[in-house]
Amino acid sequence: MHQRLQRLNTCFLRLLLVVLVALGALVALYFYQGGWEKLQQSRLLARVLPGNVITGPQVAIIAGHRGFDSGAVCEDGTIEALVNEEIADRVARLLEKEGVAVAVLDEYDPRLEGLQARALVSIHADSCINQSGFKVASAEQTIIPQQDALLVSCLKEHYAQATGLAFRASAITRDMTQYHAFQRVADTTPGAIIEIGYLGGDRALLVDEPDRVAEGIARGILCFLDAQPTARATPKDASHP
């Protein structure tokens, strides 16, 4: 009887060892095939694990004009840079609640140089004239046109839903499509610039209801992150030589 128990224990230990070796091999294969990157991008794990072990998707938000100049200044004292900063901070807080690691940057922040992120969004407001509407654009030249277009599309859809503002495609300028930050970040970082509305005609929304504005931008970014887990360059028949 005693010998039989010993044999059973030996068989059990051998079986357990085989199972552990197999699990170890599967884990090693998972990490070899990019599993660690997937874990780092997991918003669910980012909510429950502290520190920098799980960081979630990396998103950079530029608070337009911050650290550089005031931007537009209206007769009633509304300052664009302050409006942009308020919205950017609220967007960051909303994203962080979803497990997204966010950096809020100045207009010419040195961290933009070669920045590798899953999304870059620059927040600006339009002039003090009595008009209404918003604009979103990506870089005129890009090696990741599909990712940039998806980011723009997500922002357009969710910002319009949250704010009720109309999209003004005809008002997009070269200052947007040739925005300086697009040229400074890594080529594989999807980017967009959003003009959130006019400080004149849309002042009540931008100043008095910043949560609605921030929610529209945050939803747009989450839409992009959920639909586009990584950014990859397209073959060189796109817009870069």
**What's the pLDDT tens digit per position in 3-54?**
665 665 676 667 777 777 767 666 565 555 545 455 545 555 555 554 444 4
Name the DSSP class of 189: S
pLDDT the model gives residue 241 = 31
pLDDT the model gives residue 21 = 73
pLDDT the model gives residue 234 = 46
- Separation of CA 146 from chain center: 15
Centre a 10 Å sphere on the Cβ of residue 112 and count the other Cβ atoms it contains.
Answer: 23
Please list, residue by residue across 69-107, b when 16 or more beta carbons sit within 10 angstroms of its beta carbon and e when fewer do: eebbebeeebbbbbbbbbbbbbbbebbbebbbbbebbbb
What distance in Å separates the CA atoms of residue 87 and residue 65, rounded to the nearest whole number?
13
Same domain, 111 and 64: yes
Which residues are within 8 A (CB) of 107 and not within 5 positions of it... i.e. 6 or more apart? 62, 63, 64, 65, 66, 67, 68, 69
- Which amino acid is located at 47 in the chain? R
Same domain, 20 and 56: no
Same domain, 77 and 147: yes
Same domain, 79 and 17: no
Same domain, 74 and 174: yes
- pLDDT at 200 > cutoff 70: yes
Same domain, 127 and 211: yes
Same domain, 6 and 114: no
Q: Picking from 37-46, 73-82, 105-114, which range would have the lowest pLDDT averaged per residue?
A: 37-46
Same domain, 21 and 85: no
Same domain, 127 and 223: yes
> How many domains does one find in the chain?
2
CA angle 58, 39, 24 (to 5 degrees): 155
What distance in Å separates the CA atoms of residue 12 and residue 236, rounded to the nearest whole number?
57
- pLDDT at 99 > cutoff 60: yes
For residue 136, list its beta bridge partners.
194
Q: Which residue has the higher pLDDT, 214 or 57?
A: 214
pLDDT the model gives residue 52 = 43
| Domain of residue 82, residue span | 50-227
* Prediction pTM value: 0.77
With respect to residue 112, please indicate whether it lies within any of the assigned structural domains. yes
With respect to residue 38, please indicate whether it lies within any of the assigned structural domains. no
With respect to residue 233, please indicate whether it lies within any of the assigned structural domains. no
CATH number, domain of 145, equals 3.40.630.40
Same domain, 26 and 127: no
Cβ proximity of 119 and 224 under 8 Å: yes
pLDDT the model gives residue 165 = 98
Question: What tokens does 122 get?
Answer: 């620059």
